[in-house]
Structure 1
Amino acid sequence: MHSPLDGAASSLVRPYLAAHEQETALQESRRLALVLAADFGIDLDQHLIGAREVAA
């Protein structure tokens, strides 16, 4: 008798799906950082490297 396959044990992952999940997680962390900065009144232009050169 054969036991069912464990899908979690398989290393086959669609690379575009993994990349999409990573990008989604990165966007969520960026949104959270922006919301927290806005809540605490932090001027991000002062804290980002190179932002003064771009803004000028």
Structure 2
Amino acid sequence: MLNAWLMSAVLWGAMIAWLGVGITPYLVIQAVVGFSLLEVVKHMEHYGMVR
């Protein structure tokens, strides 16, 4: 788990170093979309479309 967090932090740091702090809102939006998709898939796997 810590390895995944560290890899994400390194990726974010590299993107900010390369493209500047203006990329931060896009990184946050991407993180929210990714987390939301993960939660939707998890919900569909556990409960299905009809309960």
TM-score when scaled to structure 2? 0.51
Which structure 2 residue ranges, 5 or more long, are not aligned?
A: 1-13
* Structure number with bigger Rg: 1
In the alignment, residue 14 of structure 1 is paired with which amino acid? Answer: V
Structure 1 residues without counterparts, runs of 5 or longer: 1-7, 44-56
More helix by proportion, 1 or 2?
Answer: 2
CA shift for structure 1 position 14: 2.6
Match of 1:30 in 2: 36
Two-structure CA RMSD over aligned residues (Å): 2.4
Identical-pair percentage: 12
What one-letter code is carried by the residue in structure 1 that aligns with 2:21? Answer: R
Q: Which residue of 2 aligns with 1:41?
A: 47
Work out whether 1:14 is the aligned partner of 2:21: yes
Runs of 4+ aligned structure 1 residues displaced above 4 Å come to none
Q: Secondary structure at the match of 1:33?
A: helix
